[in-house]
Amino acid sequence: MMEQYIEIKANNPGSLLFYRMGDFYELFFEDAVDASRALGITLTKRGQHLGQDIPMCGVPVHAADDYLQKLISLGFRVAVCEQVEDPAEAKKRGSKSVVRRDVVRLVTPGTITEEKLLSPSESNYLMALARIRGGSGAVMALAWIDISTGVFRLAETEPSRLLADILRIDPRELIVADTLFHDLELKPAFDVLGRVVVPQPAVLFDSATAETRIARYYNVGTLDGFGSFSRAEHAAAAAAVAYVEKTQIAERPPLGRPERESAASTLFIDPATRANLELTRTLAGDRNGSLLKAIDRTVTGGGARLLAERLMSPLTDAEAIGQRLDSIGFLMSEPSLCSDLRDALKHVPDMPRALSRLALDRGGPRDLGAIRYGLGAAAQVARFLGERLLPEELQQALAGLAALPAGLEAWLGGMLAEELPLLKRDGGFLAKGANPELDEVRALRDESRRVIAGLQLQYAEETGIKSLKIKHNNVLGYFIEVTAGNAGTMTDTPEAKARFIHRQTMASAMRFTTTELADLESRIANAADRALTIELAAFDEMVKAVVGEAERIKAGARALAVIDVGAGLALLAEEQNYCRPVVDASTMFAISGGRHPVVEQALRRQSANPFVANNCDLSPKHGEALGAIWLLTGPNMGGKSTFLRQNALIAILAQMGSFVPAASAHIGVVDRLFSRVGASDDLARGRSTFMVEMVETAAILNQATERSLVILDEIGRGTATFDGLSIAWAAVEHLHEINRCRGLFATHFHELTVLSEKLSRLSNATMRVKEWHGDVIFLHEVGPGAADRSYGIQVARLAGLPASVVARARDVLTKLEDADRKNPASQLIDDLPLFQVAVRREEQKRAGPSKVEEALKDLALDDMTPREALDALYDLKKQLDTEKR
């Protein structure tokens, strides 16, 4: 057996081998050590190899999915090895023959289909990257597949946007040729992706055989009907298909035909911007707190996945965006219809994933039930939408629902029982009346139960043993059991011995059978086997019928997802008071009363304080064709970062086809969105916070176009003051003169505000604050003009810095502001003593007694009542607090 294991393991390097032995999957050698550590299960041993104990651990077959889920989440790949012959056949080769086993499937992060292993609201993409070198340079392409839903798409890419394109799709697994894996040019991107990247033999990416491999998978003679694809796209698609074949062994998921995506059709969002804006996950990796969580009102798995897809890939086609907005507007105008649709959609199972499991022979009766109930719910949704004047997107969705196989739902409804088991081997999933022969066999089975009960009563009366029972187990089958004290009645006479045949003696009981009972058992066993055979044949028939309608079922499921997204966004807009944006081909960017969609909802949950809405107008000024840039100054905690992010998020929401959190919005299509907000480092790659800031800023300045939107916060803060000011100054000029984009540039370098005098499209804006008795009140309002200072010391006091530190900081700030800015060090070296005590002594000499001291001297303590003394003490404390401010 170990020889067989070692041979199979050698053929599947890089994967943990789940080796089937009875009711367990066993792992040996290093696999066992790794799995026991990862899963927290006991490591044992079995036999020896080369004089060393063989480590072993195992997991029960019935619970394998739970263990697979943990291993896959940790980045492992698993080869599932099953018995592929009947043990009886193995015995024919000799008593010591080993049952033949083989790997039936490779389980990898990008190729899982099990319901337990998949998140209902997230796609599970496998991606392939191919590169073809030619006379005009290298061409790169991506292909991504979700085998759980059948989605198959292609797109060309280039090194400068490779990581952004990959993160837009967010694959669970990315396969690349082993030669490409070690390419130094691509190493930075692969380092960011980490264990997601998996090198594969270069032969999988061979462009010469790519078309043939794809055509063979789809069983077609030519790919002419699929559309026009480049060599690189063919190579990437063929590699993805080959990997699916490699991991699924003999099974083939029902993949849709590959669809080509153009890079220009979606809003380009670079990796840093995706992370900073927390579109689908927060910086901590949580879904709660992300934009997706804030806007998700979908009620189906397919709808949730489509919403995430739209959020990750906003459109750049104003007409297509308008069609999505039309759907939302229509559903908002029909609240009763919207409510009915959502109620119907709540009963829609995940048909694409059920379909995929059935096609891969991993499905069960409940997957057939999902198709049945999904088709029924789809018909109900179609009835709600029928005979209405619908916008274009909903018309197309209705057409997809109308194309669903109408008779399939009725046929499955007549075949399937109401209560369905998880596994087909359990039987009992066919409805009464679905198969006449099955009804007869079931009647026999049910009648036999009554006969056994009658036999038990007959034997009890015949022997006079009232406690006599007829029982069943998997070893003896049916048997008669009596206590040891009553067994004599059945063994004392030759007639009794002939009638009651002894089977087993227990400590406190004896077991018997009869010819009559054995015959009945045989008939029952045959009936159960025959019933299961009939049901399994019917199951295969239903699966064949469902898989035969795969394309229409997937199209209908996609239509339901579109309706779910539209209804969910309509509910969101009504609930949160969102407006319909105007999206066109201009360079406008005018937001009135804009709000941050995530922060606004968080404030509403946590307090009664409303979110302060703000305007943002980066539209072209009179006579200009290009958009404007705002230079935003103001204190920390004043709301600059929130204001910056909310405008970027509003642009994304508008171009994904959603209403937006604003009173009104007019947005000219943004082709590229860049957001550099917040500080982070990359110590693993030897990059400081400032270095990361400069790398991200460089990417923005090198890629932004006239139609781009750039959000920058505190550029240059990570270095010396004058260095940082110089970098920020030059960056603003570059954005204005070279990139010529729309932008928001937040800074604490107040010196930059003078640039508005020479840069025609640059305007100054500030976060408004109010001072009250030395305290600063943040109004979170944006207005024209420039801040005169940053109020950093006030913020430091609010943060809880010791009063002595705050006072010292005020003193240093005053002297710095009074010093000669050309050479502050020479003037301040004598003016700023190193120790606070020196400062206080100097102040005391210069200023004399404080007001509190003067008041204290004037108090006539002996003449005061206790009440007057207490009042005086409170007054002194009040004066002291005022002086500290």
Query: Is residue 637 annotated as involved in ligand binding?
Result: yes
3-state helix, strand, coil in the chain (%, to 5): 50, 20, 30
pLDDT confidence tier of residue 826, bands split at 50, 70 and 90? very low
Q: Is 588 annotated as a binding residue?
A: no
Q: Looking at this protein, which amino acid is placed at residue 266? A: T
Q: Beta 509-513 vs 477-483: how paired, if at all?
A: antiparallel
pLDDT above 70 (res 840): no
Q: Check residue 552 and give its pLDDT.
A: 95
- Reported as a single tens digit per residue, the pLDDT across 493-507 is 888 888 999 999 988
Sheet containing 582-584: order of strands: 582-584, 664-668, 589-594, 614-617
Backbone φ and ψ for 718, nearest 5 degrees, come out as -90, 10
For the chain, the farthest-separated pair of C-alpha atoms sits apart, in whole angstroms, at: 129
Bigger pLDDT: 813 or 559?
A: 559
What pLDDT does 738 receive? 93
Q: Alpha-carbon torsion 105, 109, 112, 115, what sign? A: positive
Record the tokens describing residue 575, joined without a space.
Answer: 């609930």
Question: What pTM value is reported for the model?
Answer: 0.83
What's the rounded Cα separation, in Å, for the pair 287 and 278? 9
b/e per residue, 132-145, with b = 16+ CB within 10 A?
beeeeeebbbbbbb
What is the Rg, in whole angstroms, of the alpha carbon atoms belonging to the chain? 37
Report pLDDT for 813: 72
Check if the beta carbon of residue 659 is closer than 8 Å to that of residue 583: no
Give kind and range of the element (H or E) at residue 154. Answer: strand 151-157
* DSSP letter, residue 687: B
State how beta strands 24-28 and 52-60 pair: antiparallel
Q: Cα separations (Å) of 235 from 23, 168, 187, 431, 557?
A: 42, 21, 21, 48, 29
pLDDT digits (tens, 9 = 90+) for 254-300: 999 999 998 889 999 988 899 889 999 998 889 999 999 999 999 99
pLDDT tops 70 at residue 594: yes
DSSP letter assigned to residue 806: H
Closest CA relative to residue 27, chosen from 58, 48, 49: 58
| Residue 371 exposure: Cα atoms within 13 Å on the Cβ side | 37
Band of pLDDT at residue 73, cut at 50, 70 and 90: confident
Please give the Cα distance from 863 to 403 (Å, whole number). Answer: 99
Q: What is the mean pLDDT of residues 585-595?
A: 96
Share of the chain above pLDDT 90, in %: 56
**With 80 as the cut, is the pLDDT of residue 792 above it?**
no
Position 123 scores a pLDDT of: 94
The dihedral formed by the CA atoms of 708, 709, 713 and 715, expressed in degrees to the nearest 10: 20
Nearest in space to 336 (alpha carbons), one of 537, 492, 558, 570: 570
Helix (H, G, I), strand (E, B) or coil at 478: strand
The answer to whether 661 and 578 are in contact (CB under 8 A) is yes
Q: How far is CA 465 from CA 370, 405, 468, 486, 518, in A?
A: 51, 62, 6, 7, 21
pLDDT digits over 598-653, tens only?
A: 999 999 888 777 899 999 999 998 778 899 999 999 877 778 899 999 999 999 99
In one letter, which amino acid is 49? H
Which residues are CB-neighbours of 566 under 8 A, at least 6 positions away? 324, 327, 328, 331, 393, 394
Alpha helices in 74-182 (DSSP H): 87-92, 162-169, 178-181
**pLDDT beyond 80 at 562:** yes
Read off the tokens for 703. Answer: 């890629």
The closest of 714, 744, 743 to 727, measured between CA atoms, is 714
Under a CB-based contact definition with an 8 Å cutoff, are residues 708 and 672 in contact? yes
User: What pLDDT was estimated at residue 837?
Assistant: 41
Residues whose CB falls within 8 Å of the CB of residue 791, separated by 6 or more in sequence, listed in order = 635, 636, 638, 769, 776
At residue 579, φ and ψ (nearest 5 deg) are -115, 160
Selected residue with higher pLDDT from 95 and 461: 461
In the predicted structure, residue 310 carries a pLDDT above the cut 80 = yes
Q: Which is it for the CA torsion 368, 371, 375, 377, positive or negative? A: positive
Other CB atoms within 10 A of residue 356 CB: 25
pLDDT in the model for residue 479: 94
Give start and end residues of each alpha helix (H) in 225-270. 231-248
Among the listed ranges 176-180, 234-238, 407-411, 443-447, which one has the minimum average pLDDT value?
Answer: 443-447
What does the angle CA 198 – CA 201 – CA 207 come to, to the nearest 5 degrees? 110
Distance of alpha carbon 84 from alpha carbon 91, whole angstroms: 14
Residue 634, annotated ligand binder?
yes
Task: Please give the Cα distance from 749 to 755 (Å, whole number).
Answer: 12
| Least confident interval from 38-47, 149-158, 540-549, 766-775 | 766-775
Is residue 848 scored above 70 in pLDDT? no
Can you name the residues that pair with 78 across neighbouring β-strands? 16, 107
Chain segment 120-161, per-residue pLDDT in tens: 999 999 999 999 987 677 899 999 999 999 999 999 999 889
CA–CA separation, 422 vs 529, rounded Å? Answer: 19
Question: Do 262 and 227 form a contact (C-beta atoms < 8 A)?
Answer: no
| Range 742-763 burial, b when 16+ CB lie within 10 A, else e | bbbbbbbbbebbebbeebebbb
Predicted local confidence at residue 828, as pLDDT = 40
Ordered strands of the 477-483 beta sheet: 469-473, 477-483, 509-513, 501-505
* pLDDT tens by residue, 660-711: 999 999 999 999 999 988 655 554 455 677 788 888 888 899 999 999 999 9
| DSSP string computed for 835-883 | SHHHHHHHHHHHH-S-HHHHHHHT--GGG--HHHHHHHHHHHHHHHHHH
Adjacency order of strands within the sheet including 44-49: 44-49, 52-60, 24-28, 16-21, 78-83, 101-107
612-625, pLDDT tens digit by residue? 999 999 999 877 88
**Most confident segment among 208-217, 493-502, 560-569:** 560-569
Pair of tokens at residue 720: 């010396």
DSSP secondary structure, 31-98, as one string: HHHHHHHHHT---EEEEEETTEEEEEEEEEGGGHHHHHHHHHHTT--EEEEEE-S-HHHHHHT-TTPP
Per-residue confidence (pLDDT) for residue 582, from 0 to 100: 97
The Cα 493–Cα 498 span in angstroms is: 9
Count Cα neighbours of 131 within 13 Å in the Cβ-side half-sphere.
Answer: 16
Q: pLDDT tens digits for 337-358? A: 999 999 999 999 999 999 999 9
Among 47-56, 348-357, 565-574, 875-884, name the one with the lowest average pLDDT: 875-884
Distance CA 534, CA 441 (A): 10
- Average confidence score pLDDT of the chain: 88
681, 692 Cβ separation under 8 angstroms: yes
SS (H, E, C) 352-402: HHHHHHHHCCCCCHHHHHHHHHHHHHHHHHHHHHCCCCCCHHHHHHHHHHH
Residue 835: pLDDT band with limits 50, 70, 90: very low
Q: What DSSP letter does each residue of 290-316 carry, written as one string?
A: SHHHHH----SHHHHHHHHHHHHS-B-
Is 638 annotated as belonging to a binding site?
A: yes
CA pair distance 112, 76, nearest whole angstrom? 12
Q: Averaged over 560-571, what is the pLDDT? A: 97
Going by the DSSP 8-state scheme, the letter that residue 628 receives in this structure is P
Which pLDDT does position 819 carry in this prediction? 63
Average of pLDDT values for 7-32?
Answer: 91
The two tokens of residue 90 are 């193995």
- Alpha carbon 844 to chain centroid, angstroms: 63
Determine the pLDDT at residue 524.
81
